[in-house]
Amino acid sequence: MACGAARRRMSGESSGAYPDERQIVRQMAMTRVITQQSAENMTYVRRLLGEKQPGFSAALELALMLAELELL
């Protein structure tokens, strides 16, 4: 290594510059992905339940709406 030259980083090694901020950004991105996947899964399950058990699905939706009204 030449005098004054920076050492090359290995793959996966932190640059040392703002490591906490990078971790926070990664966590926020992962949270966004998980939240989106969760919403898609919930939509899928509701649709499937509505097709297979429409009466039970309607009862659950009504219970959810009533619970939301109680919170207001």
pLDDT tens string 13-51: 555 557 788 899 999 999 999 999 999 999 999 999 999
Instruction: For residue 1, name the pLDDT band (cuts at 50, 70, 90).
Output: low
SS3 4: coil
SS3 18: coil
Domain boundaries, the chain: 20-71
Q: What is the pTM of this model?
A: 0.58
pLDDT tens string 42-60: 999 999 999 999 999 999 9
Q: How far, in Å, CA of 57 to CA of 46, rounded?
A: 7
- Position 65 scores a pLDDT of 95
SS3 30: helix
Beta-carbon contacts of 14 under 8 Å, excluding residues fewer than 6 positions away, are: 22
Instruction: For residue 5, name the pLDDT band (cuts at 50, 70, 90).
Output: low
